[in-house]
Amino acid sequence: MNTDMKRRVFLRGSLAAGTVAVAAGAGLLAPQAVLAAWPEKAFMAKAPEEALSGVFGSGQSAASDQIKIKAPDIAENGAVVPITISTDMAKVETIALLSTANNAPLVALFNMGESAAADVSIRIKMGKTGDVVAVVKADGKLHSNRKSVKVTIGGCGG
């Protein structure tokens, strides 16, 4: 009985170690030096300013028409709302997408590499009618724009 337990623990341990080794070896995870840890506090923040501070160190941004937000005026299905954010601004480093109606407003962060063009599309869940806010960090400064989206059926399964 005792040897049985020891064998099981041993097998479990070696299986776990093996899996980790494979994952690390396969290099599936992005180079840790470049990719910052997932910013949990920012994503859990209940208020947009708090979320933005968590990401950029500040919740303040200058309103800018140069940021284009393409989103439906009325979203029939709040579970799948297509959003496109684009801008002609130079030196875009990061684009943050928030949905003010969601209980944790920060939805996505896009970090631009050297050759990236500031034009991203994604589909998000919106709990109810609210604003989609795009905050762009370009050349060290924060700019933002927002668009109101009406949601007829909420998207968080509630």
CA distance 42 to 85: 20
Name which of 38 and 62 has its Cβ closer to another protein: 38
Minimum CB distance to another protein, residue 81 (Å): 8
Name which of 64 and 104 has its Cβ closer to another protein: 104
At 66, list the tokens.
């140069």
Amino acid residing at 29? L
Minimum CB distance to another protein, residue 6 (Å): 27
Name which of 73 and 114 has its Cβ closer to another protein: 114
Q: Are 129 and 151 in contact (CB under 8 A)?
A: yes
Instruction: Name the residues that contact another protein, by CB under 8 A.
Output: 23, 28-31, 34-35, 38-39, 43, 79-82, 84, 99, 102-104, 106-117, 119-125, 155-158
At 87, list the tokens.
């801008």
Tokens 């919740």 belong to residue: 59
Backbone phi and psi for residue 67, each to the nearest 5 degrees, phi listed first = -90, 120
Question: How many whole angstroms from its chain centre is CA 152?
Answer: 24
Name which of 2 and 103 has its Cβ closer to another protein: 103
Minimum CB distance to another protein, residue 80 (Å): 5
- Please list, in sequence order, all residues whose beta carbon lies within 8 angstroms of the beta carbon of residue 122, skipping any fewer than 6 positions away: 82, 83, 97, 108
Reported residue count of the chain is: 158
Minimum CB distance to another protein, residue 31 (Å): 8
Name which of 6 and 91 has its Cβ closer to another protein: 91
Minimum CB distance to another protein, residue 126 (Å): 8
Which residues on neighbouring strands pair with residue 67, listed in sequence order? 87
